[in-house]
Amino acid sequence: MGTTKKTYRWRTTTIGLACAALLAGGAGTAVAAPSAVPDLHSHAVAAAAATSHEKIDVKASAKSVKAGESVTLSGRTKGIPTGSKLTVQHLNKGKWTTLHASTKTKHGGHYSVKVKLGKKGKEKLRVAHGKTHSSTVTVTVH
């Protein structure tokens, strides 16, 4: 029980000294344990915060097309900067594969990209930016 009281006293003393240093204007003294406080200005933390709020909406211009025709995927992004590259992916043998179709976000997060589909069957498509991706749209190619 004596150890708990000592730990409590040590913690309150440290907090009190840090507060006094801040009030006195001694920022150098106040930053006694930088590892205890996360660095919110680091690139890694900023990137993680940005990706957690990214969202991509998508809709296809047609639900079915003939083989060799194009379908336009369009929508809006949130949390992704203007001018960022978006890629189109399709589900191939259980894996998402990037197609040779990409675009950049425009003002307001809008985007539009044409995708030429040649393989007959149901194509599952999505739009991606890094680890963020849209929901899946299915286009039947006949």
**Cα–Cα distance, 54 to 109 (Å, whole number):** 11
Q: Which residues contact 69 (CB under 8 A, 6 or more apart)?
A: 116, 117
13-49 residue pLDDT tens: 767 766 666 666 655 544 454 445 444 444 454 455 4
What does the pLDDT read at residue 52? 61
pTM of the shown model: 0.64
Least confident of 35-39, 71-75, 111-115: 35-39
Q: Distance (Å, rounded) from C-alpha 3 to C-alpha 12?
A: 14
